[in-house]
Amino acid sequence: MSGNKHPKGGPVAELSDERLEQLKSTFASIDTDGDGYISETELKRHFPGLPAEALGAMSEAADSDQDGRYSLEEFIRTVS
């Protein structure tokens, strides 16, 4: 395999290794407690100027399982 694409299906499959690493790094910087999820609190802390309406819209778009937090997969699907 060339290393440029990922064999899994979904949004990850269409990302280059470099882009995937960038997204993982961004995710990790927002996930300050390191639990593998971005909480609403972490999102607000990382984007303090983001209006509540924007956070709500993000929740609807990104939190596909509606558990109140964002997994790496949900994050990648939303921002890529």
CB 39 within 8 A of CB 30: no
Mean pLDDT of the chain: 85
Closest CA to 61 of 34, 43, 35, 36: 43
Which of the pair, 80 or 17, is modelled with greater confidence? 17
Identify the pLDDT of residue 4: 43
pLDDT class of 7 with cuts at 50, 70, 90? very low
Identify the pLDDT of residue 36: 97
pTM exceeding 0.75: yes
With a pLDDT cut of 70, the percent of the chain lying above it is 85
pLDDT class of 6 with cuts at 50, 70, 90? very low
Return the number of other C-beta atoms located less than 10 Å from residue 72's C-beta. Answer: 17
The mean pLDDT of 38-62, rounded to a whole number, is 88
**Residue 75 CB-density burial (10 A; 0-12 exposed, 13-18 middle, 19+ buried):** buried
